[in-house]
Amino acid sequence: AGGAFLPLDPALPPERLLHLVRQARATLLLGHSRLALPPATPALLLDTLDTTSEPDTPPPLQTHPGQLAYLIATSGSTGTPKLVAVPHGPLADHVRATGALYETGPGTRELHVLAFSFDGAHERWMVPLAHGGALVLKPDGLWTPDETLDAMDRHRVTHAGFPTAYL
């Protein structure tokens, strides 16, 4: 739709979320009614949004390589998170190259276990979707090794990127 996104972890303290929203100069939040969203920013609650009168096709839009795709918060080695801007061009190049490297295609089924607010997570969901693959989303919380293997077998997972906690 032409906007850039900033993934926010709802488990973060409200003050930190508000800091990130203000730092990004966000003009709209997408969320869910069960989440505590930072105040003073307009929000669309996706679970209560009536889209029945909306068109089934996306709006006409031309994206340029230098146009901002998303912002991501760094880990904040100084104690204060900073936002990094990621434009469409380098992101698209990375997604294409990574898809080729991992032989990603329509038969790919990626088990997504990383937090969406972590910068490494974007590669793990964008690459399969951009190459015609599918995502298998894991519920919150850690799985045991047996639960992980069972889910990977049941969902015919072909690719996964695990955080250190799993390894």
Indicate the helix (H) or strand (E) that contains 48.
Answer: none
**41 vs 99, more confident:** 99
Residues 6 or more apart whose CB falls under 8 angstroms from that of 157 comprise 109, 110, 111, 136, 151
**138 vs 90, more confident:** 90
Per-chain mean pLDDT for the chain: 89
**4 vs 119, more confident:** 4
CB 85 within 8 A of CB 62: no
**8 vs 38, more confident:** 8
**91 vs 13, more confident:** 91
Mean pLDDT on 102-122: 91
Report pLDDT for 76. Answer: 64
pLDDT tens figures, 52-76: 999 988 888 888 999 999 999 887 6
Report pLDDT for 18. Answer: 87
pLDDT at 134 exceeding the cut of 80: yes
Mean pLDDT on 20-41: 85
Task: State which amino acid sits at residue 136.
Answer: V
Report pLDDT for 160. Answer: 93
CB 82 within 8 A of CB 105: no
**108 vs 10, more confident:** 108
Report pLDDT for 163. Answer: 80
pLDDT band at 101 (very low <50, low <70, confident <90, very high): very high
Mean pLDDT on 96-103: 96
Q: Beta strand 29-31 with 134-137: parallel, antiparallel or unpaired?
A: unpaired
Q: Which domains, and CATH codes, for the chain?
A: 14-160 (3.40.50.12780)
CA-based R_g, the chain, Å? 17
Indicate the helix (H) or strand (E) that contains 135.
Answer: strand 134-137
Question: Which residue has tokens 């993934």?
Answer: 7
DSSP percent split of the chain into helix, strand, coil, nearest 5: 30, 15, 55
pLDDT at 31 exceeding the cut of 90: no
